[in-house]
Amino acid sequence: MSNWSLDVLLGSLHEDIQTRLATARKSFGHPGTKGDATENIWLELLQKYLPQRYQASKAHVVDSLGSFSQQIDVVVFDRQYSPFIFNYEGQTVIPAESVYAVFEAKQEINAELIKYAQEKVASVRKLHRTSLPIPHAGGTYPPKQLVTIIGGILALEIAWSPPLGDSLIKALNGQTSDNHLDLGCVAAHGAFCFNNTTSSYEISDHAKHATTFLFELISRLQNSATVPMIDIKAYASWLTR
């Protein structure tokens, strides 16, 4: 009889994330160092467990019109079809067409930080994205319709009691489509996601919060399919300016 347990494996994945976040919280006194450690923990989770077509990085996002997003803690982007990713002096810049999801990562979240995360997400969603027709053996597919970039927030703790109650939902609700947060994880307490069918947030408060978030993100990435075919000439036009 096998001693393997899927329940234990999924629980251990969450416990690892929560333990590392808690260790960073109590071990590092400098806020910047603590913040960097928090971002790295979430980035490593996604880099390790997302399918290889995706990559996760701290980055700015740029569009072909020359507009830039704010700096984003966690950007999930396409690596298979992205023609260029800029890396210079430790800074990563990603074309808007390549982005699937963006997240703000904090040690603890409150109403102010949720608003901050919403503004960060909006700074990416407002960017211009090109989409070209897609050639294939039998002809050409029309340009891929742009899908909404997934947005969310990640943390260890939350300021409210109960943690994932009415105060959280109130802070999340009432936003424009650009500012809307789709999902998030508070590793010590639970995860949340927006149900597009019921137009309401669903709370998951069982013991495997980080794993719940990871699986929900993968499911949404599957529904997003592939990023649009980027108009590289729109970016190339900057070479002659």
State pTM to two decimals: 0.92
- Which residue in the list 106, 182, 208, 216 is annotated as catalytic? 106
Confidence of residue 44 (pLDDT cuts 50, 70, 90): very high
Res 159: pLDDT:
93
Query: Is residue 212, in this structure, part of any structural domain at all?
Result: yes
pLDDT at 31 over 80: no
How many folded domains does the chain comprise? 1
Average pLDDT, the chain: 91
Output the six-digit token pair for 64: 């072909």
For range 69-81, the mean pLDDT: 92
What span, in angstroms and rounded, lies between the C-alpha atoms of 63 and 172?
27
Average pLDDT, integer, range 207-224: 92
Residue 1 has pLDDT above 60, yes or no: no
Q: Tell me: the pLDDT tens digits for 79-103?
A: 877 878 888 888 899 999 999 999 9
Residue 109 lies in a domain: yes
Catalytic position from the list 39, 73, 182, 216 = 73
Average pLDDT over residues 115-135: 95
Does 115 score more than 90 pLDDT? Answer: yes
Bridge-partner residues for 136, per DSSP? 139
> Known catalytic residue: 73?
yes
Gap between the Cα atoms of 188 and 206, Å rounded: 10
Active site residue 144: no
pLDDT tens readout for residues 173-213: 988 899 999 999 999 999 999 999 999 999 987 788 899 99
Q: 3-state DSSP call for residue 178?
A: coil
Confidence of residue 2 (pLDDT cuts 50, 70, 90): low
Q: How far apart are CA 241 and CA 135, in angstroms?
A: 29
- Residue 178 has a pLDDT of 95
**Residue 9 lies inside a defined structural domain of this protein:** no
96 in a domain, yes or no?
A: yes
Instruction: Tell me whether residue 34 is in a domain.
Output: yes
Residue 83: domain span: 27-235
The answer to whether residue 199 is domain-embedded is yes
Given a contact cutoff of 8 angstroms between Cβ atoms, the answer to whether 75 and 58 are in contact is yes
55 phi and psi, to 5 degrees?
A: -135, 150
122 pLDDT higher than 90: yes
Q: Which of 190 and 27 is assigned the larger pLDDT?
A: 190
| Residue 15: inside a domain | no
128-152 residue pLDDT tens: 999 999 888 888 989 889 999 999 9
Res 15 pLDDT > 60: yes
Q: Is 48 a catalytic residue?
A: no
Task: Please pick, among 39, 78, 97, 104, the residue that the annotation labels catalytic.
Answer: 104
Q: Does some domain include residue 20?
A: no
User: Rounded mean pLDDT of 211-235?
Assistant: 92
